[in-house]
């Protein structure tokens, strides 16, 4: 079952300039910067109450974020939801008719296992599932 929103991902062209902008907007600094090689992105995170805002900058012109910005410009890229068991949730959602973009969870930013649902099956919204990586996974 999907739990609370875990984070909202925002695609940006320049993470340094965007960190400055969002620091002014939120009145607080980001708490973490991380490169995610598997997704070809640089990320930063701001904590806003119980939800995080993740800024994503492409590190490869062929990455999903680069293609998103080229097609749609900077802006909201995805909404992520925390799950307790990503494998069980992927299986449940696939049985409900949702298209899973990756058949196995991948290691994402902020110590998470992640997978995405295709936006064509979620009314145009890219949905990410996130599970905290436990020791041994």
Q: For residue 134, what pLDDT is reported?
A: 81
pLDDT digits (tens, 9 = 90+) for 72-114: 999 999 999 999 999 999 999 999 999 999 999 999 999 999 9
| The two structure tokens encoding residue 1 | 């079952």
Residue 137 has pLDDT above 70, yes or no: no
- On whether the pTM is more than 0.85, the answer is yes
> How far, in Å, CA of 58 to CA of 15, rounded?
9
Strands 127-132 and 112-117: antiparallel
Q: What is the dihedral of CA 119, 22, 73, 41, to 10 degrees?
A: -70
- Write out the two tokens for 88: 């069980």
10-35 residue pLDDT tens: 999 999 999 999 999 999 999 999 99
For residues 135 and 137, give the distance between their C-alpha atoms in angstroms, rounded to a whole number: 6
Token representation of residue 61 = 């012109």
């Amino acid at each position: 079952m999907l739990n609370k929103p875990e984070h909202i991902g925002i695609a940006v062209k320049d993470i340094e300039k965007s960190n400055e902008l969002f620091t002014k907007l939120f009145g607080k600094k980001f708490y973490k910067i991380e490169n995610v090689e598997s997704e070809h992105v640089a990320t930063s995170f701001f904590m806003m109450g119980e939800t995080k805002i993740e800024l994503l900058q492409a590190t490869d012109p062929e990455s999903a974020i680069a293609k998103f910005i080229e097609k749609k410009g900077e802006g909201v890229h995805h909404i992520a939801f925390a799950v307790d068991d990503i494998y069980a949730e992927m299986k449940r959602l696939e049985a409900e008719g949702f298209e899973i973009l990756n058949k196995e969870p991948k290691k994402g930013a902020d110590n998470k296992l992640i997978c995405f649902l295709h936006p064509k099956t979620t009314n145009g919204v890219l949905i990410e599932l996130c599970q905290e990586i436990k020791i041994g996974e």
